[in-house]
Amino acid sequence: MLRGGISLSLLLLLGACSSASENLCLSCMVGGENGHPPTVAPSATDTTYFFLLDRLANGDRTNDQHRHPKNVLQMQGGDWAGVNAHQDYLNDSGFTAFLTTPFMLNRQRAFFGHEAGHGYWPIDHYKLDPRWGTWEQMQNFVFHTHENGHKFFLDVVLNHVDWDHPWVKEHPEYFHDLGPIKNWDDPRELVEGQVSGLPDLKQENEEVYQYLLRSTKFWLSQTDADGIRFDAVKHIDHKFWQRYLAELKTYLYASGRNVADFPLLAEILHGDPQTYLPYIADGFNAFYNYPLYYTLKEVFAENHSLFALAARLQELDRVFPPTILRANFIDNHDMPRFLDLNKSVTEKDLEQVLTVLYALRGMPVIYSGTEALVRGKTGEEGRKMFKLKRDHLFSYLQKLNKLRQQHPVLALGEREDLVVNAESYVFALRNLQEEIFVVIARPKAGRVKVAWEVERDGEVQDLLTGRRYMSSRGEFNLSVGKTVMFLARPFNEKNPPPPFNSSAAPDLIPLQIELKGAPPLAKLALAGNLDILGRWQPPQAVALEQQQATIIVPVGSVLEFKFIGVNEQGEVRWEERPNRYYFAQDPANLEFVWNH
């Protein structure tokens, strides 16, 4: 139970393939026009386990000189030997890709009580840090990862170096001299200012540029990595990224890699999806999905309306094409652990939000320790070492990883929202092989109705318990509780998939809006999340004439909005209430009262 009585009562994954579906190629996995799939994102069906090299496992006691196990701000002794000793644990988890923090040579001494266990304070971009082991141990992990059919992702730091980097004294011209960032809304400070007070590299300097590009190529040659995470992307100028990514892709092509399936993953800490578009134009094809993270946090830890989740997913689908990979997560090394987002969050809540994560378009990225219920109210507190045990949540993630591979529609299916309100959210995922209904409900939802596309009886089976259910006249009328079920049915000749066309324009419907009880203001308008509502920008909001307006929206749109007023001085006044929501399914006349 979450604060305010929230629970995820039901997650229905209605859908199944034949037993042979596990081996379907990508071209068979996505339904599109005339049965042809749209182009998919890189690593679209992968699930990734992310770990801090210094925090996973200590396998070599001879390099523990800097180990301080009682102080999470300092080195904990994790190393390549420890990772290699637990290859079975990693392999059995069911993840298809592994990402670890940078392992190049980092600062060797403490800095105001902090040590570089995270790997983001480089002093040499070409050397391996001996505190984490040897070249042989590192390459042994990568070799066995690839041998087991899994991917290995690099993490690189191009924005800054540590104060102990020799360049700081030898080449001050290689750095910006703006000092620490003070105004995070200033574009120049954001790019040229120091992040966390670290020396900020001047990437426009040709020597710096070539050093960074060559170092990336060097690590790719040493690891044969399958993708790259880029740290602090928004703190580097777009001109650098445009040139760097173009040359890097040329190198990847020349080295025989499939660039279309090679994630170039941007870490951009921002909650507005529009902020990511210039970086995608620069050449990135993947991003950490912070907009979704903030919404999951609000809905599942802070009891916000389920409308908010539906509105966010629709926004992400509008903004990003299917060729852009969303790396979805619920905690990471910079953020508090999910279990400590709110005092009322429980282990069951963590299990349920993970389940939802696996039912969304994108690549789930699970932070090491999540499976061990690690807590932490800050990013640093959440980086503690933990025992690698195969407890309940480890087994549950195994099951989710397996289902994600068995049912590729979870990653690639066409989504349609069917039921959206404050207490329940139902959407369908479809391809030519299967259909999945995802039903998220809270206790107040009571009963949730799920309908087939056609009125006929059918049988589904709970993939977790084996229990079978029958529909009546094409409907399941389910009583919700704090339950998670995965129900499946095949598409075949007797039960063919419904017709759908991912490229067809949605039908449009009119909504007549009337506002009552508004204060005496010069102008009234409707501002909200859709383009027609001005995307929350008052100058672009829909003006109300005689407190009325008609808007045309696509069928199935989730509107998130507020009424605003403008006084004689041009000052904007917003309604004093949480955002309003409406799920547009049919033409409607809607009446609202201004909230004072």
Chain-wide mean pLDDT for the chain?
88
Asked if residues 486 and 524 have their Cβ atoms less than 8 Å apart, the reply is: no
Asked if residues 48 and 365 have their Cβ atoms less than 8 Å apart, the reply is: yes
Residue with tokens 């009891």: 303
Model pLDDT for residues 272-314, shown as the tens digit of each residue: 999 999 999 999 999 999 999 999 999 999 989 999 999 999 9
Residue 480 pLDDT > 80, yes or no? no
Cα separation, 488 vs 402, in Å, equals 15
pLDDT in the model for residue 27? 33
As a whole number, mean pLDDT of residues 196-213 equals 97
| Cα 460 to chain centroid, rounded | 30
Cα separation, 242 vs 350, in Å, equals 39
- Closest C-alpha to 222, from 54, 72, 104: 104
Asked if residues 437 and 13 have their Cβ atoms less than 8 Å apart, the reply is: yes
Residue 263 pLDDT > 80, yes or no? yes
pLDDT in the model for residue 34? 39
- Closest C-alpha to 427, from 10, 5, 28, 40: 10
Cα separation, 363 vs 40, in Å, equals 12
Q: Which residues contact 124 (CB under 8 A, 6 or more apart)?
A: 104, 105, 165
Q: Which residues contact 61 (CB under 8 A, 6 or more apart)?
A: none
Using 50, 70 and 90 to split pLDDT, how confident is the model at 391?
very high
Any bridge partners for residue 485, and if so which? Answer: 12
Tell me the fold of 41-412. Answer: TIM Barrel (3.20.20)
Cα separation, 327 vs 97, in Å, equals 12
**Crossing angle of the two packed helices 135-147 and 206-223, in degrees rounded to 10:** 60
The ranges assigned to domains in the chain are 41-412, 508-593
- Strand 363-367 and strand 48-51: the pairing is parallel
DSSP labels, 450-517: EE-SSS---EEEETTT--EEE-BTTEEEEE--S--B-EE-B--SSSPPPP--TTSPPPEEEEEEEEES
Structure tokens at 305: 């309306």
pLDDT in the model for residue 489? 64
- Closest C-alpha to 558, from 537, 587, 528, 538: 528
Per-state percent for the chain, helix, strand, coil, to nearest 5: 35, 25, 45
| Cα 209 to chain centroid, rounded | 30
Any bridge partners for residue 79, and if so which? Answer: none
pLDDT in the model for residue 331? 94
HEC per residue, 303-369: CCCHHHHHHHHHHHHHHCCCCCEEEECCCCCCCCCHHHCCCCCCHHHHHHHHHHHCCCCCEEEEECC
Asked if residues 208 and 174 have their Cβ atoms less than 8 Å apart, the reply is: yes
Tell me the fold of 508-593. Answer: Immunoglobulin-like (2.60.40)
Residue 151 has φ and ψ, to the nearest 5°, of -105, 155
- Three-class secondary structure of residue 229 per DSSP: strand
| More confident site: 513 or 6 | 513
Angstrom CA distances, 361 to 163, 285, 323, 490, 591, stand at: 40, 15, 11, 21, 35
pLDDT in the model for residue 487? 62
As a whole number, mean pLDDT of residues 183-202 equals 97
Residue with tokens 């089976």: 461
Structure tokens at 387: 């025992």
Angstrom CA distances, 325 to 49, 410, 413, 554, stand at: 16, 14, 14, 25
Angstrom CA distances, 312 to 113, 193, 291, 356, 358, stand at: 40, 32, 8, 14, 16
| More confident site: 431 or 502 | 431
Residue 46 pLDDT > 90, yes or no? yes
Q: What angle do CA 135, 141, 144 make, to 5 degrees?
A: 130
Cα separation, 48 vs 107, in Å, equals 28
* HSE of 182, CA atoms in CB hemisphere, 13 A: 2
Strands of 548-554's sheet in order across: 548-554, 508-516, 588-593
The amino acid at 147? E
| More confident site: 432 or 536 | 536
Residue 24 pLDDT > 50, yes or no? no
Residue 4 pLDDT > 80, yes or no? no
Cα separation, 49 vs 51, in Å, equals 7
pLDDT in the model for residue 440? 87
pLDDT in the model for residue 75? 84
Using 50, 70 and 90 to split pLDDT, how confident is the model at 465?
low
**Crossing angle of the two packed helices 290-301 and 306-319, in degrees rounded to 10:** 170
As a whole number, mean pLDDT of residues 560-580 equals 94
As a whole number, mean pLDDT of residues 155-163 equals 98
pLDDT in the model for residue 30? 31
Asked if residues 418 and 435 have their Cβ atoms less than 8 Å apart, the reply is: no
